[in-house]
Structure formats: structure tokens, C-alpha cells
């Protein structure tokens, strides 16, 4: 019996078909203006007809679909109006050529993860519509955009001598002929990919100089600045990530790609797909061992050592520049970091990659054992931090004891090995990164917010509060989970939020982005439900992450983060017992040092790396030659994106590419496209009192470029809420709610905003003797609201609001706009 297709799946399929039809109609532009207007009208009528025929019972997911349809409808209406307006330059655009269409098809494939067969069908659709300049086949699409690919080398690991060789059948090291399949991996030229990015990007600052004392990025932080003081010439620095990922759901094999990003690119485009560097791929079939990963890393490190010497590169303006390239950091999850750093596993003694804490064994309630990394202030003050100098001492000791061990009697080896483990402090072998000039094998391994904090520390705390096994504990509030779930629904997020969380009842299925939203903005739901000392402890973590992910960090912020992290870690064992102070809890200790060394956590988190790697791997459909297919897809996407940015913006494909695919920003920051929509027939009486004789038009939505704002009443029944903003009022940044969007006598749009006269900042216990006021979270009481009329230019950004049942409100500012909104 054929299973019934869900409404969500049906809706997604409709969206893909609509976009393909819209692309075809965009390309097939008749000369007759009347026919062109009819095409736009037909698209709008199709949307309206589908909206009416697909109307379901109200639910959160369906409301989200309605919001997306609203935004799509606004884009279609706006585009239709632009075509009929004198301001539009549409008819100055040229007709899309074959490469323009190929670029759009590649970007469509990437965005919706379409199969090659689907793209072939779209090509047939275009041909049936007689779309001019349609590529003849999928092979032609790849030929038009896939002309460049970096050099690659495939290596095989000899099963006899364990050496890497480029010959699958014969090993030149041990003269062995192989008749069986050998483990292989593939390496790509980093220099070729760097040169390609330098030639196509005008946003790389090769001689970056810090503007002031504030830390806004990796380039403003301690590690980069120390290198810049020694090197005055042109240079590039890289951040690396390596992680395992399944090529498909349910697959038993894993792919281990090595990815680099260029720190000299601004954070907003650093992780853009066209700026990603793929250094190599280990194609499984399972997680590589330490010996195996060394083969992969050896080839990559050899390339990086060559790049440290100055090489000539052609840059964007055609100039030839001598540039030195340095790897300065690696951001990985803990198992991957232990693998490449050659230290003990995270749950083992000395398993921390940033310090030499040993930990101690404690029994669990189920008869097992767990290693605790509980610390006191004395332990924190005297902790030994890992560094190059410390590594050199320990690796010499490791090699010496390894040689001596072979001379000892077998009966004494176990005792001696335990003694060696104490002396070696978790060193499990040679770390190849020590060969690099500006890579510190302790400090350069960053504390990652995704794995260490959100799905590590905070998820563990959530399990303690809501887990059934801790029902009898003081901190457990599982009996209030339904109340908490209802409160969490009252946390109103803007539509630009990366991922809207599911119900709190499904907290154990939450992704990292959902946990991030719950921690940064949803923590307020636990007030008066968690016991006060546990809630105050939670507030410390909230403020730590708001500050550590902030846009600008100064010396005072770092001191505050340090004090909060120390206090949080010490109190954790006192509140939740030492048994629960595991490695991910301990990792909060190293957040301040990472921020000081590399700046705000958001600029290098594995959130970005995993997103890019996920898209790259999921686009790999074949079961063999994963590495070659990944680099081919990467180059194809990169060329399609660059072509869309440069060439397609001058053709009749420009509106489609900008609104559906590239999400290009306005190149002129001073020139903002402001557009109102969804006219509201109901007047605001308070506004009418201000302009009794004027012609006033009210609207529900307002677009500032691609930023969507709505009124409070319009957002009430929606999943997302775009009516809560931060704006300038008398020179001060103020939280408010948009009550009305209006124009007076057909003038520029205005915002009628409600704001509180006595909002108070979040007060967080800094340590036992002092509190800290954090202005990024503010609480407004139920009374003393005032209303003000402001210009659109006074709008700063959208914010989050939590409406308590007593009608008081908590406003939350996003720590940054790169990651979330």
C-alpha cells in the first residue's frame, strides 16, 4: 500500500516546481509589455490559488509556510511593480546567455539539493518553453562552469609497510605487489585554491592593521596581532576544520574532509561557499586511526610548510604579490581534535586538549564509573596550559619512555605504563602541527561553541533538569515540563532566525541551533521554576555566551567572561555534584582564552564548517570517488556563484538570482530599498490624532532591502514575529514593538513604536561578592509604555521578545548578526 505523502513534503515539492517555472518565465521575456505583465499576474494567481486550495488547520509549521508565501508574494508583487515603474532598469538588462542559465541551474541544485536527473528535467522544460540559450545537457552545464579544478593526488596506504604511495598496485618502499583494494585518501592543492580565491575576491586585506583596542574578529585578537607585529609584508592566515560525516542517512561509512577558511576575509563572507578550501578527504569506510590520519595530515602539512615561504600570487586587480600563508588555528569537535592533536580521548585522564587536567574516577548510580573534571579556584589558578614549549618537553619524555619500555620485563610493563601516562600528560604521539611556524599545539586548538557549549554543556544541564532519572534531585523540574513548553512558545523570534525551535517537549531531539536559541533567549522561561541558585547559575552561562559571541569585545569584557567562567565551573560541582562535571563542562574554562586569542566565538565556530561540509557531502551522490566528486561539486558551485555575482546581475536573470539564489546584499550601504506592503484598512486612532487632516495609509509589512518588518497585530498569529526591534530614540538604543507602519501624504514610511519607559537590564551574579548588569537583555514591566513616531533610518535591527503571562516582556538582542539573523 502506498504511504500518504505529508503536507509538508507536498508543500516543498510545490515550491521547487514554482521556482523552476519562475526561472523559466524569467528567462522567457516577451518584448510585449502587456504579455510581461500577464506573466507576473499569472505567477501571482498561481500562488493565490495554491494558498486557497492548500489551506489547512492552523499549526505552527503551516503558519511558517504562510509567512514564507507572504514573503514570496511580496517579492513577486514588488518585482511586477518594478517592471512597470520608471525607476526600474530591467529593460537595460541583456538576455541571459548559456553560461548565465547554467549558473542559475547549479545554484538551484545547491539550494534545494536537487538530483542531476531533476536538473536534466528542468533543462527539458526550458527547451519545451523555447527558452533561448538553454544549455543542451547537464554535461554542457558542467563544461561551461567546470573549467577549473585544483591539482589532486590520490594516495594508497601499503598494508605491509604502512607507507603512503601513489601506485595502487605496487609499493616502492617495500617492493610489494598488491592484489587487494588498499585504503586510500585524496589530497588537493591548497595553493591552487588560494590563488583562485585571490583572483576572484576583492575583499581580502593582505596587510590588515588593527583600528582600535576592540576585538571584532580573529584579526584583532592576540594570536593574529602577534604574527602581524613580526611580519609587515602581505600574508594570509588560515583556520582549519576536520570532522567525520556520513555521506547519507543510515550509511555505515564516513567521510573525513579537511577544510580551510581565510581569516583575512570578513566574517560575513569568510564561510561563503566560493571561499571554502578543501585540503583533502579520507573516504572511510570508518573513522581513521591515529596512524591513518597521520598519512592524510602529512600531505596537508607538507603543503602548508611550502606555503609558509613567500610565493607569488595574482590577485583581483591583476597585480602579482608575494604572500606568506600560515595556519594559525583549528576548530574541531573533541574526538576529532584528540585525533589530530595526538592526545588522549576526551573522557580519559589528561583528555583536555587545552590543559593538563587529569580528572578523577567516580562511581555512577548505575554501577559504572565516570571521570570527573571538577575544579576548585586553587586548581584553576595552578592549571598547566598546553603549549609548544610544554609539548616539546612531553614528546621528548614520551619518545624516551617508549624506547625504555621495550627494555623492561613484561611483568613490570603495566605498572610502568601507568607511571608513564602520569608523566606524559595525555600525549599519545607526535603532533604534526608542531612543524608549522605559527601554530601552537595547545592554544591554536579553539574552544568550539557548538560542541563544547550548546550540544555539550547546555544539553547536559537540560538533561539534568528534565531527565526522568533525576526526578528526585533538587534541580529536576520534569513535573513542570508542560508549563515550560507553554512558556517557550511565548518566546517570539524574528523570521530571519537560523532555526525556529520545536516544542520543548522534544528537547532531547534539539539541534545545536535550537539549543542556542533556548539558552540565549529561552532561559527566561526557567525563572521561578528552577530553584533560584540554579537559575542564577544558568544566568552566568547566558551572559558568558552573549559576551563571547558579541560583535565587539574589550578588555573589560574578557575579564568579565573569565570571572564568570571560573565561578560557573566551580559552582557546577557544588550544585550538580562532581559526578556530572565531565569534560564538556570543564571546557567552559577555556572560553576566555579562546576569545582573547581569536576573538568572538561566532567567527570560527563549527556551525559554519558543518553547514558547508554538509552541503558539500550531501551533494555527493556517487558511491565511489567521493573526494573527486566533492572537489568537482565545490569548484562547480564556486564558479556558478562568482558568475552570478558578476555576470548574471547584468541580465534578465538578475531579479531571480538576487531574490532566490544568491541573496545578494545592496552594494551601496547608503542606498536602501524601502518598500511597504499589505495595506491595512484599519486606522490607528492614536496616529490619526497626531495627523487629523493628513492622508494616512497604514501597512502591515515593511521591507528595508531584504529585512522584513511587520506590525505587532499582523505577527500575532504567525510562528515568527518581525515586529520587535531595536531603534535609536534620543540618541539611545531602545527596545520597542512596532504598533503601526504608515505613510503621511504619500511620504516616506514611518514607524509608530511602543517602548517601555523603565526597562531594566539583566542582573547576573558575577561571583560571591558582585553582580553584573547586562544591557543586551532587558525586562519591561506591564505599565509605563510610551509611544513614539520614528523614521525608518532609526531602525537598527530586529530582536527577540518573551511575553510573560503577567504581560511583562523580556527583550533580547542577538549577540551578532552573522550567525543568527
Tens digits of residue pLDDT in 325-334: 999 999 999 9
pLDDT beyond 60 at 731: yes
DSSP letter assigned to residue 245? B
What distance in Å separates the CA atoms of residue 508 and residue 3, rounded to the nearest whole number?
A: 28
What distance in Å separates the CA atoms of residue 277 and residue 261, rounded to the nearest whole number?
A: 6
In this structure, the answer to whether residues 24 and 34 fall within a common structural domain is yes
Q: Does 530 fall in a domain?
A: no
End-to-end CA distance of the chain: 44
pLDDT of residue 627: 84
pLDDT beyond 80 at 352: yes
In this structure, the answer to whether residues 349 and 206 fall within a common structural domain is yes
Arithmetic mean of pLDDT, 603-625: 84
pLDDT of residue 85: 42
Lowest mean pLDDT among 68-72, 219-223, 700-704: 68-72
pLDDT digits (tens, 9 = 90+) for 153-164: 999 999 899 999
Tell me the pLDDT band of 41, cut-offs 50, 70 and 90: very low
Highest mean pLDDT among 3-17, 407-421, 582-596, 773-787: 582-596
In this structure, the answer to whether residues 203 and 247 fall within a common structural domain is yes
pLDDT of residue 625: 79
Tell me the pLDDT band of 657, cut-offs 50, 70 and 90: confident
What distance in Å separates the CA atoms of residue 302 and residue 692, rounded to the nearest whole number?
A: 76
CA distances from 806 to 142, 728, 787 (A): 60, 27, 21
Percent of the chain with pLDDT over 70: 84
What distance in Å separates the CA atoms of residue 13 and residue 20, rounded to the nearest whole number?
A: 11
Arithmetic mean of pLDDT, 474-489: 97
pLDDT of residue 29: 54
pLDDT of residue 663: 47
In this structure, the answer to whether residues 248 and 108 fall within a common structural domain is no
Please list the alpha-helical segments (H only) found in 247-387: 267-270, 290-308, 334-341, 377-381
Q: Does 452 fall in a domain?
A: no
Could you tell me which residue, 663 or 396, shows the higher pLDDT?
A: 396
In this structure, the answer to whether residues 616 and 715 fall within a common structural domain is no
Tell me the pLDDT band of 660, cut-offs 50, 70 and 90: low
In this structure, the answer to whether residues 750 and 775 fall within a common structural domain is yes
Is the separation of the CB atoms in 547 and 561 below 8 Å? yes
| Contacts (Cβ under 8 Å, ≥6 apart) of 247 | 253, 254, 255, 617, 620, 626
Nearest CA to 104 out of 134, 79, 74, 75 is that of 134
Percent of the chain with pLDDT over 90: 63
pLDDT beyond 90 at 767: no
pLDDT of residue 24: 63
pLDDT digits (tens, 9 = 90+) for 411-426: 555 555 656 677 889 9
The count of domains in the chain is 4
pLDDT of residue 14: 64
Q: Does 92 fall in a domain?
A: yes
Q: How many residues does the chain have?
A: 821
pLDDT of residue 783: 74
What distance in Å separates the CA atoms of residue 353 and residue 338, rounded to the nearest whole number?
A: 7
pLDDT of residue 653: 79
What distance in Å separates the CA atoms of residue 764 and residue 50, rounded to the nearest whole number?
A: 50
Tell me the pLDDT band of 72, cut-offs 50, 70 and 90: very low
Instruction: Give backbone dihedrals phi and psi of 281, rounded to 5 degrees, phi first.
Output: -140, 130
Is the separation of the CB atoms in 540 and 489 below 8 Å? no
Burial class (CB in 10 A: 0-12, 13-18, 19+), 326: buried
Q: E strands within 333-479?
A: 360-363, 369-372
Boundaries of domain holding 337: 187-359+606-644
- Residue 130: helix, strand or coil by DSSP? coil
In this structure, the answer to whether residues 692 and 651 fall within a common structural domain is no
In this structure, the answer to whether residues 638 and 724 fall within a common structural domain is no
Q: Does 244 fall in a domain?
A: yes
pLDDT beyond 80 at 668: no
Could you tell me which residue, 26 or 757, shows the higher pLDDT?
A: 757
Arithmetic mean of pLDDT, 743-749: 95
Tell me the pLDDT band of 69, cut-offs 50, 70 and 90: low
Q: Which sign does the torsion angle of CA 603, 604, 607, 610 carry?
A: positive
Is the separation of the CB atoms in 712 and 706 below 8 Å? no
Could you tell me which residue, 421 or 299, shows the higher pLDDT?
A: 299
Q: Which of 631, 659, 687 is at the close of a domain?
A: 659
pTM of the model: 0.86
Other CB atoms within a 10 A radius of the CB of residue 656 amount to 24
Q: Does 652 fall in a domain?
A: yes
Could you tell me which residue, 401 or 52, shows the higher pLDDT?
A: 401
Q: Does 513 fall in a domain?
A: no
pLDDT beyond 60 at 88: no
Average pLDDT, the chain: 86
pLDDT digits (tens, 9 = 90+) for 488-516: 999 999 998 888 999 999 999 999 999 99
What distance in Å separates the CA atoms of residue 386 and residue 597, rounded to the nearest whole number?
A: 14
pLDDT digits (tens, 9 = 90+) for 357-378: 999 999 988 888 999 999 999 9
What distance in Å separates the CA atoms of residue 145 and residue 636, rounded to the nearest whole number?
A: 6
Query: Using CA atoms in the order 766, 768, 769, 772, what is the torsion angle rounded to 10 degrees?
Result: 20
Instruction: Give backbone dihedrals phi and psi of 342, rounded to 5 degrees, phi first.
Output: 60, 55
CA distances from 598 to 236, 330, 569 (A): 15, 11, 22
Q: Does 588 fall in a domain?
A: no
| Contacts (Cβ under 8 Å, ≥6 apart) of 668 | none
Strand order in the sheet with 809-812: 491-492, 800-803, 809-812, 771-780, 760-765
Could you tell me which residue, 337 or 249, shows the higher pLDDT?
A: 337
What distance in Å separates the CA atoms of residue 307 and residue 318, rounded to the nearest whole number?
A: 21
pLDDT of residue 149: 85
Q: C-alpha 503: how far from its chain's center?
A: 22
In this structure, the answer to whether residues 198 and 177 fall within a common structural domain is no
In this structure, the answer to whether residues 745 and 615 fall within a common structural domain is no
CA distances from 488 to 310, 459, 522, 594 (A): 54, 16, 6, 31
DSSP structure string for 75-121: HHHHHHHHHHSTT--GGGSBPP-HHHHHHHHHHHHHHHT--HHHHHH
pLDDT beyond 90 at 556: yes
CA distances from 540 to 67, 558, 586, 602, 776 (A): 35, 14, 15, 19, 14
In this structure, the answer to whether residues 32 and 76 fall within a common structural domain is yes
pLDDT of residue 263: 96
In three-state form (DSSP H/G/I as H, E/B as E, the rest C), the secondary structure along 135-168 is: CCCHHHHHHHHCCCCCCEEEEEECCCCCCEECCC
Q: Does 405 fall in a domain?
A: no
What distance in Å separates the CA atoms of residue 632 and residue 620, rounded to the nearest whole number?
A: 10
What distance in Å separates the CA atoms of residue 45 and residue 51, rounded to the nearest whole number?
A: 10
In this structure, the answer to whether residues 297 and 235 fall within a common structural domain is yes
User: Which domain CATH number covers 756?
Assistant: 2.30.30
pLDDT beyond 80 at 552: yes
Arithmetic mean of pLDDT, 21-40: 50
Arithmetic mean of pLDDT, 460-471: 96
Amino acid at each position: 500500500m502506498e504511504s500518504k505523502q505529508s503536507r509538508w513534503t507536498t508543500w516543498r515539492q510545490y515550491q521547487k516546481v514554482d521556482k523552476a517555472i519562475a526561472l523559466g518565465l524569467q528567462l522567457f521575456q516577451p518584448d510585449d509589455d502587456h504579455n510581461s505583465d500577464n506573466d507576473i499576474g499569472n505567477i501571482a494567481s498561481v500562488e493565490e490559488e495554491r494558498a486557497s486550495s492548500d489551506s489547512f488547520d492552523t499549526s505552527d509549521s503551516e503558519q511558517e509556510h504562510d509567512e514564507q508565501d507572504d514573503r514570496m508574494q511580496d517579492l513577486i508583487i514588488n518585482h511586477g511593480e518594478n517592471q512597470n515603474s520608471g525607476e526600474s532598469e530591467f529593460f537595460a538588462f541583456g538576455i541571459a546567455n548559456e553560461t548565465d542559465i547554467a549558473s542559475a541551474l547549479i545554484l538551484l541544485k545547491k539550494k534545494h539539493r536537487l538530483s542531476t536527473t531533476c536538473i536534466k528535467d528542468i533543462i527539458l522544460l526550458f527547451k519545451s518553453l523555447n527558452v533561448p540559450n538553454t544549455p543542451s545537457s547537464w554535461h554542457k552545464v558542467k563544461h561551461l562552469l567546470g573549467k577549473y579544478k585544483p591539482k589532486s593526488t590520490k594516495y594508497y596506504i601499503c598494508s605491509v609497510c604502512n607507507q603512503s604511495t601513489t601506485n595502487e598496485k605496487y609499493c616502492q618502499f617495500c617492493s610489494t605487489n598488491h592484489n587487494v583494494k588498499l585504503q586510500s585518501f585524496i589530497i588537493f592543492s591548497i595553493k591552487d585554491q588560494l590563488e583562485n580565491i585571490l583572483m576572484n575576491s576583492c575583499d581580502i586585506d593582505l596587510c590588515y592593521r588593527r583600528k582600535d583596542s576592540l576585538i571584532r574578529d580573529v584579526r584583532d585578537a592576540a594570536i593574529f596581532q602577534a604574527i602581524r607585529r613580526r611580519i609587515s609584508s602581505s600574508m594570509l592566515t588560515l583556520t582549519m576544520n576536520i570532522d567525520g560525516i556520513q555521506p547519507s542517512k543510515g550509511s555505515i561509512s564516513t567521510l573525513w574532509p579537511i577544510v580551510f577558511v581565510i581569516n583575512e576575509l570578513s566574517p560575513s563572507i569568510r564561510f561563503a561557499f566560493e571561499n571554502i578550501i578543501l585540503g583533502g578527504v579520507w573516504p572511510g569506510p570508518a573513522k581513521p586511526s591515529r596512524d591513518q590520519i597521520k598519512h592524510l595530515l602529512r600531505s596537508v602539512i607538507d603543503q602548508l610548510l611550502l606555503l609558509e615561504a613567500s610565493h607569488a600570487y595574482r590577485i583581483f586587480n591583476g597585480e602579482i604579490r608575494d604572500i606568506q600563508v600560515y595556519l594559525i588555528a583549528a576548530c574541531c569537535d573533541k574526538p576529532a581534535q584528540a585525533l589530530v592533536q595526538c592526545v588522549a580521548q576526551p573522557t580519559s585522564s589528561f583528555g583536555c586538549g587545552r590543559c593538563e587536567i587529569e580528572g578523577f574516577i567516580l562511581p555512577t548510580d548505575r554501577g559504572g564509573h565516570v571521570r570527573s573534571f571538577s575544579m576548585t579556584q586553587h586548581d584553576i589558578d595552578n592549571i598547566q596550559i598546553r603549549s609548544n614549549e610544554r609539548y616539546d618537553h612531553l614528546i621528548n619524555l614520551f619518545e624516551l619512555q617508549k624506547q625504555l619500555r621495550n627494555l623492561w620485563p613484561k611483568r613490570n610493563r603495566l605498572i610502568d605504563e601507568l607511571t608513564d601516562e602520569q608523566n606524559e600528560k595525555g600525549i599519545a604521539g607526535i603532533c604534526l602541527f608542531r612543524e608549522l611556524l605559527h601554530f601552537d599545539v595547545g592554544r591554536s586548538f579553539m574552544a568550539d561553541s557548538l560542541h563544547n557549549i550548546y550540544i555539550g554543556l547546555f544539553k547536559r544541564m537540560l538533561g539534568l533538569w528534565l531527565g526522568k532519572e533525576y526526578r528526585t534531585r533538587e534541580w529536576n523540574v520534569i513535573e513542570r515540563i508542560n508549563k515550560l513548553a507553554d512558556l517557550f512558545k511565548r518566546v517570539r523570534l524574528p523570521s530571519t532566525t537560523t532555526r525556529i525551535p520545536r516544542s520543548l517537549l522534544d528537547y532531547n531531539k534539539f539541534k545545536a541551533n535550537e539549543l542556542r536559541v533556548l539558552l540565549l533567549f529561552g532561559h527566561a522561561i526557567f525563572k521561578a521554576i528552577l530553584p533560584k541558585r540554579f537559575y542564577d547559575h544558568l544566568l552566568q552561562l547566558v551572559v558568558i555566551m552573549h559576551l563571547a559571541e558579541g560583535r565587539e569585545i574589550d578588555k573589560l569584557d574578557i575579564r568579565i567572561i573569565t570571572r564568570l567562567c571560573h565561578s560557573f565551573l566551580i559552582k557546577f560541582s557544588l550544585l550538580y555534584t562532581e559526578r556530572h562535571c565531565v569534560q564538556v563542562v570543564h571546557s567552559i574554562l577555556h572560553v576566555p582564552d579562546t576569545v582573547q586569542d581569536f576573538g568572538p566565538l561566532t567567527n570560527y565556530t563549527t556551525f559554519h564548517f558543518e553547514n558547508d561540509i554538509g552541503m558539500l557531502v550531501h551533494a555527493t551522490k556517487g558511491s565511489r570517488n567521493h573526494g573527486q566528486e566533492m572537489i568537482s561539486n565545490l569548484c562547480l558551485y564556486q564558479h556558478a556563484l562568482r558568475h552570478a555575482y558578476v555576470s548574471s546581475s547584468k541580465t534578465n536573470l538578475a531579479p531571480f538570482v538576487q531574490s532566490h539564489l544568491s541573496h545578494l546584499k545592496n552594494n551601496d550601504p547608503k542606498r536602501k530599498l524601502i518598500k511597504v506592503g499589505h495595506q491595512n484598512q484599519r486606522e490607528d486612532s492614536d496616529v490619526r490624532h497626531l495627523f487629523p487632516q493628513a492622508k494616512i495609509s497604514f501597512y502591515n509589512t515593511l521591507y528595508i532591502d531584504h529585512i522584513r518588518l511587520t506590525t505587532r497585530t499582523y505577527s500575532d498569529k504567525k510562528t515568527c514575529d518581525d515586529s520587535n526591534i531595536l531603534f535609536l530614540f534620543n540618541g539611545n538604543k531602545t527596545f520597542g514593538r512596532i504598533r503601526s507602519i504608515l505613510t503621511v501624504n504619500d511620504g516616506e514610511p514611518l514607524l509608530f513604536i511602543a517602548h517601555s519607559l523603565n526597562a531594566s537590564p539583566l542582573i547576573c551574579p558575577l561571583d560571591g561578592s558582585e553582580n553584573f548588569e547586562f544591557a543586551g537583555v532587558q525586562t519591561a514591566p506591564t505599565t509605563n509604555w510610551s509611544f513614539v513616531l520614528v523614521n525608518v533610518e532609526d531602525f537598527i535591527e530586529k530582536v527577540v521578545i518573551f511575553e510573560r503571562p503577567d504581560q511583562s516582556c523580556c527583550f533580547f538582542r542577538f549577540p551578532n548578526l552573522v550567525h543568527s539573523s
